[in-house]
Amino acid sequence: ILNFNFLLVVAFFAFALVLLLFLPDKGGVSANRVRLKDLITIFKKGSCFNHLILSQLFNGIANALPATLFIFFTTYVLKRPDLAGPLLVAYFLSAAISVPIWVRLTNIWRKERCWQVAMVISAITFLGVLLVDEHAITLFFIITIITGLMAGADLSIPASMLADIIDGDAKLNNHRRPGVYFAMWGTTSKLTLAFSVVIAFSLLGMDVFEPEAEGVLINTTWLIILYALLPPFFKLMAVF
């Protein structure tokens, strides 16, 4: 697993370096001074940004929780830690392939509606993890592919919605302040990972879930419940 993951990271890093060679550079960019008032006004009551940032927070936690528990799940439930790398590749490839499809769909339906549909489908599909055990690896692979396809919406649509909000804010206030919005956006992304780690490992630290001397968990049912139910719960919170 380590060799596969290491080679994968090296390959992606090399690919990123190649892409940098083709990155356009238009020189310096002017920026307006950020005021404390700007940080407060973007969170005004009933604003579109408030709804978007909350959805991004809950959806981010829903995505980060499986990532936090993934190694535990493949090791103790599937009992195939060697499949961790291939499953991750399948997930991210599915997400990358689906991005152009979701972009095209946003030209047909509203961006918010497309994102909501993706989150609902992902939540419903992920409930299938409740049926997964070491004999249902094929089912888990199918779930991985479908949720990966839905993740393409998470990668493309929220950022596009944020850009629309920034443009609307610029027209309303006669000046652009993208730095404030992206700062809050980046902070929220960091918080999703922090919250997921706290939630997952706080619950995994319960006595019922301590590993035995042989390295086998006492009760994998609790892990399956955490892995299968918490992400759909947060997904649906993001939708509504």
| pLDDT tens for the chain, residues 1 to 240 | 446 666 777 787 787 777 666 666 555 545 555 565 666 666 676 678 888 999 999 999 999 999 888 988 998 888 898 999 999 999 999 999 999 999 999 999 999 999 999 999 999 999 999 999 889 999 999 999 999 999 999 999 999 999 998 888 788 777 777 777 888 888 888 889 888 888 887 777 654 455 554 555 556 777 888 889 999 999 999 998
Tell me, what's the pLDDT at 34?
57
pTM for this entry: 0.79
Helix H, strand E, coil C: the string for the chain is: CHHHHHHHHHHHHHHHHHHHHCCCCCCCCCCCCCCHHHHHHCCCCCCHHHHHHHHHHHHHHHHHHHHHHHHHHHHHCCCCHHHHHHHHHHHHHHHHHHHHHHHHHCCCCCHHHHHHHHHHHHHHHHHHHHHCCCCCHHHHHHHHHHHHHHHHHHHHHHHHHHHHHHHHHHHHHCCCCHHHHHHHHHHHHHHHHHHHHHHHHHHHCCHHHCECCCCCECCHHHHHHHHHHHHHHHHHHHHC
Distance separating alpha carbons of residues 130 and 140, to the nearest angstrom: 10
Tell me, what's the pLDDT at 207?
46
Tell me, what's the pLDDT at 203?
74
Tell me, what's the pLDDT at 99?
95
Question: Residue written as tokens 């918490």?
Answer: 230
